[in-house]
Structure formats: structure tokens, C-alpha cells
Structure 1
Amino acid sequence: MLSEFLRDQCFTTAWFGLMAFVWFGWAQEDPPRRWRIWLGAGAVLGVGLAVAFGVLTAANWDRPTALEGKYVWFGVLVAAEVVAAGAGCFVLARRGAPRWMAWWVAMVVAAHFLPLALLLNDLGVAVVGVVQMIVLGSVVPRLRGTTDPSSRAAGPIMGATLLLGAAISAVITAPGL
């Protein structure tokens, strides 16, 4: 989002847009009726940013990247994220608490943005992760007081923050294209 590397900037924008689509989709598991149009609109906007900046990423693929020489660490980070998310969901399922899976996965994704920001040399990615962790933490008391799936809260939080991050990144990137 705040990278000096155009390729990374375009890719992060595209990826945040795609992941906004995914999280808005997960939020549609059991949303209140009045949220449905907004979740759908957010998903469409996310896909639009993903496609546009995916094309721009491809067009700038020969440009330098902050990940040069760090691809192994990037792979280790992604693998750790997947293992943590999967292990947590396994434990939640075994404990009879599958409704917390979306919240858990969201927290793992948000936390992984901190070391990812170091790899990408991009403070904006860390800011998104910190905001997500704070907001996800703030909804725990409300989630404890209900039997609703946590996707009802985690999906919109993640979708909105990722979409906002992608939109900010798009605005920052546009002049450099």
C-alpha cells in the first residue's frame, strides 16, 4: 500500500481487492437482511480492484520487488499462516465451537500482515493488520453474547478494511502508472 516498488504496490492492491471479495462472500453466510446489498456491493468493488490491478501487476512484473531474495521467508510466512488457521479451526471444530472459525481465521490473517509488512517494507500493510486486530478484538464480547456465526462480524470487518486498503493503495498508485 505504501511501497516504493510499483509491482508490489499493484499486487497488494489486487490481492487486497480479491481478499475483500472473499471476506464479503464469507460474511454472506448469515447476514442481517439489510446488510446483503452492501456485502454484495463490497464484493463487486473488490473484484473490480483485483482485476484492474491484477492486469497492472502483470504489466509491471519485470519491475523490482521488495521480496527479491526473500521468497523463502515469504513462503515460510504463508505456510505458518495456513497451519495456524487450519490448526485453530481444527481445535474449534473438536471443541464444538465452529462458529468461531471465521473470527479465528481473520485474526490469523490480520496478525500475518505484521511480518508481511516487514518483508514488503510496507508500513501500510502493518496498519491494516493492526486495525483489523483491534476491531476483531472489540467484537469478541458481542460474539460471546450470541450464537450467530462469527462470519457475521469478521467478514464485514475484514472485507471493509481490505477494500479500504485496496482503494487507498489504488489512489496512491495511480499517479505512478
Structure 2
Amino acid sequence: MLMSFKKIVLQCPPFRLSYQGLGEPLCFAAFGPFATTAFYLLQRKTSELPVTGTVLSASVLVGITTSLILFCSHFHQVKGDMAVGKMSPLVRLGSGAGSDVVKIAVIVLYSFLLVIGLCRTLPLTCIILCELTIPIGRLVVSYVAANHKDNTKIFMAKYYCVRLHATFGAALAAGLVAARMFAGSYIP
């Protein structure tokens, strides 16, 4: 269903919101807070509607990594996007500034993780396991910085982002499960 949303709203007329550079923010919302919160609510055994800081924090982290995949998938398409009038963020920024955005996004991802860990919004197990993915985050940043001008090599950046998304998400989920198993009912 979310893939249908993406196709219809982001790419098809009359909306074509991705042509206006709104793909990444909409991807963040749809696959981060909306999808994660909806999945959480579907899995709850009670009819209450408490969406906690834990759920919202986790959903923001998932949204960041998901949006990073979409952002990096545009590096090799800048010339083509310009030719068809698609004003993606990379068309607007250029690949050099786009490389800086990737670096900032990865720094924000791990900084936000640390802040919500210090605030005890997420359990310590999540923080520790997610911090173990920092080498993959560094790989994404260094690969994009080194190859953002090379359309042949930069194509792989989105796959490195997928690795970050998958390992970070698995670490986050494992941390939540471990917290529940070892600390009773910490997770709402």
C-alpha cells in the first residue's frame, strides 16, 4: 500500500511531488513516523492508543535512514532529473552540497540516538546496539564524499545506505526486544 502511495503521489500526474523536491520529506513521514507508528498500533494487544516517546523516537530514526536511501539514489540521476524538470534536492543543491547533506544526516542520526538515549526515551540496549553500526554510517559518508562526482561509482551509495538502514533497524529492534526480555516491561 505504501508503495502505491509512493507511485501515485510522488511520481504520477497531477501530483508529481517528487518533481518539486518533496520526495525525501514525504518518504521520511510515510516510512518513518506514519508506518512505524501504524505497525506498532497494529501489534498492540490493547485497544488503548498510547503512542509513546519510544515509538516516536524509533520512528524518527527509521525515517532518517529510509530518507537517506532515497536521497542517495538521486546522485547519479542529477543530469537526467534536470533534463526532465525534476527538482530533486540534489538538482537544487548539487552533488558537492549533497555530499555534505549525507554527512549531516548521518551525524544527526547518531546524535539523535545519543540524545534520546540520554533522555531514556530508548533503552540502553538500543543505544549500544545501534552505536555498533557507526562503521557503516562512516562508510556511507566517506563513499559519498569520495565519489559524488563519479556517476558510475556513486550509484552504489544507495546500496550502502540500504545496508545502514537494515543493520541500524535490526540493531534497534534487537535492542527493544532485549530491553523487554531483560528489564521486564520497559517497552510500552
TM-score, normalised via structure 1 length: 0.42
TM-score, normalised via structure 2 length: 0.40
Larger Rg: 2
Whose relative contact order is higher, 1 or 2, with alpha carbons under 8 Å and at least 6 apart? 1
